[in-house]
């Protein structure tokens, strides 16, 4: 229970740090400003590809955010968030490059227009204003003179309008570029904030894993103590008979005794007495024992399922000792003339082939006093 509470507290702390960072790094983490959403800025393929990458990263970030309900989910969400901002920065830089090129083009165009304007003004000045009499003299009529004068004025007006338009465009583009530069700088700051958050979270994860490893080690040590205590109790209560040699067909025999209590197998934990006898029942009768509990509970579990349970041993029956906290299960190999039985078993340190708990054992001449026998 302490492990679960500790993990819960760490998760709460993690979520608090994330929420605190997100609040003070800007509430618009997943919003897009007007200047960055306008696709009209992108004219090159590179810019469009960057914009598409930004969109894809946004979708991944949103998907990751929806799945961030675990510690690993939070890590993945932050990774996608950082990728999102990296994509946004690349996209914004591409837009800025496009704007810069457009500004340079319009600036050159403006210079040409200014040169043309200067020439035209000079022509108008020297040919129009100072020699108006000559224009009049060269005109066939007053209407021809008026038309020439009108053309000059129209040219002036058009040039003036063109200059003002280009100036306005240049000013607008420069403002847009400044805005994008500001957005890039802002998003770079946000990315740094997210990376810092990620660093903090990774530190929490490392701490969590370290604690989890410590908890796991503590659990393993406690489990080992428990195994030894169980084995000692079984040895004390089931030490009758003479240790002998027998055939071991248990499928997990090569994993024992080191794999004790790791997972359920034929009615019990691997390398334990109930798992071994459960296997022997399946091997001989094809019946798979499931959820019968500790060995001491097997007689009642068997009765409820209609199996015969008594004090009469038979070869191929399961012998149950109900003494102690867990009891002990054995497989009856044969009956001796004096009424004792020969049994094979697991997790009895008295008969263990290796001398360790959780290993195969064989006993000859075991007393049947106090034992229950389950018949299949």
Domain presence at residue 223: no
pTM: 0.47
d(CA 129, CA 133): 9
In a shared domain, residues 154 and 251: no
Domain presence at residue 227: no
Low-confidence stretches of the chain (pLDDT < 50) are 1-5, 13, 15-40, 128-131
Supply the CATH number for residue 269's domain. Answer: 3.90.1720.10
Domain presence at residue 229: no
In a shared domain, residues 143 and 42: yes
pLDDT of 320-332, one tens digit each? 999 888 899 999 9
CA angle 44, 48, 26 (to 5 degrees): 125
In a shared domain, residues 182 and 46: yes
In a shared domain, residues 197 and 305: no
The range of the structural domain enclosing residue 265 comes to: 240-375
pLDDT of amino acid 48: 63
Domain presence at residue 230: no
**Best CA proximity match to 191, nearest among 82, 32, 89:** 82
In a shared domain, residues 205 and 249: no
Domain presence at residue 210: yes
In a shared domain, residues 105 and 189: yes
Domain presence at residue 347: yes
pLDDT of amino acid 130: 40
d(CA 71, CA 279): 40
In a shared domain, residues 54 and 163: yes
**Best CA proximity match to 234, nearest among 317, 302, 315, 296:** 296
In a shared domain, residues 275 and 334: yes
- Phi and psi dihedrals of 338, rounded to 5? -85, 5
pLDDT of amino acid 44: 61
In a shared domain, residues 193 and 279: no
In a shared domain, residues 62 and 203: yes
pLDDT of 213-242, one tens digit each? 666 666 666 666 776 777 788 899 999 999
In a shared domain, residues 205 and 253: no
SS3 359: coil
Burial class of residue 263 (count of CB atoms within 10 Å of its CB; 0-12, 13-18, 19+) = exposed
SS3 291: coil
Domain presence at residue 96: yes
Domain presence at residue 228: no
DSSP state of 126: I
Counting the structural domains of the chain, the total is: 2
In a shared domain, residues 163 and 27: yes
The gap between the terminal CA atoms of the chain, to the nearest Å, is: 40
């Amino acid at each position: 229970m302490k492990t679960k509470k500790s993990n819960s507290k760490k998760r709460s702390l993690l979520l608090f740090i994330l929420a605190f960072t997100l609040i003070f790094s800007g509430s618009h983490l997943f919003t897009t400003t007007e200047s960055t959403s306008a696709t009209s800025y992108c004219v090159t393929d590179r810019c469009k590809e960057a914009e598409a990458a930004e969109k894809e990263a946004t979708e991944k970030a949103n998907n990751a955010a929806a799945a961030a309900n675990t510690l690993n989910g939070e890590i993945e969400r932050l990774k996608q968030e950082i990728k999102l901002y990296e994509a946004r920065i690349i996209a914004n830089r591409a837009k800025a490059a496009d704007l810069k090129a457009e500004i340079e083009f319009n600036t050159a165009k403006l210079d040409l227009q200014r040169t043309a304007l200067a020439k035209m003004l000079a022509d108008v000045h020297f040919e129009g204003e100072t020699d108006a009499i000559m224009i009049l003299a060269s005109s066939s009529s007053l209407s021809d003179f008026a038309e020439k004068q009108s053309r000059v004025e129209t040219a002036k007006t058009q040039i003036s309008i063109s200059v003002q338009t280009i100036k306005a465009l240049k000013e607008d583009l420069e403002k847009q570029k400044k805005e994008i530069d500001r957005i890039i700088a802002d998003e770079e700051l946000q990315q740094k904030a997210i990376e810092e958050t990620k660093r903090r979270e990774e530190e929490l994860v490392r701490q969590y894993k370290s604690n989890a490893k410590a908890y796991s080690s503590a659990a393993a040590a406690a489990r080992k103590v428990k195994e030894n205590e169980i084995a000692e109790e079984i040895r004390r209560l089931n030490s009758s008979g003479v240790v002998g040699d027998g055939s071991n067909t248990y499928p997990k025999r090569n994993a024992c005794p080191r794999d004790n209590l790791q997972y359920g197998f034929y009615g019990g934990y691997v390398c334990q007495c109930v798992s071994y006898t459960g296997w022997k029942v399946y091997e001989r009768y094809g019946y798979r024992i499931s959820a019968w509990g500790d060995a001491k509970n097997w007689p009642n579990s068997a009765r409820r399922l209609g199996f015969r349970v008594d004090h009469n041993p038979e070869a191929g029956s399961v012998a149950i000792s109900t003494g102690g906290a867990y009891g002990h299960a054995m497989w009856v190999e044969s009956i001796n003339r004096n009424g004792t039985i020969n049994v094979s078993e697991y997790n009895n340190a008295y008969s263990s082939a290796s001398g360790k708990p959780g290993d195969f054992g064989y006993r000859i001449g075991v007393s049947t006093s106090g034992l229950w026998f389950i018949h299949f």
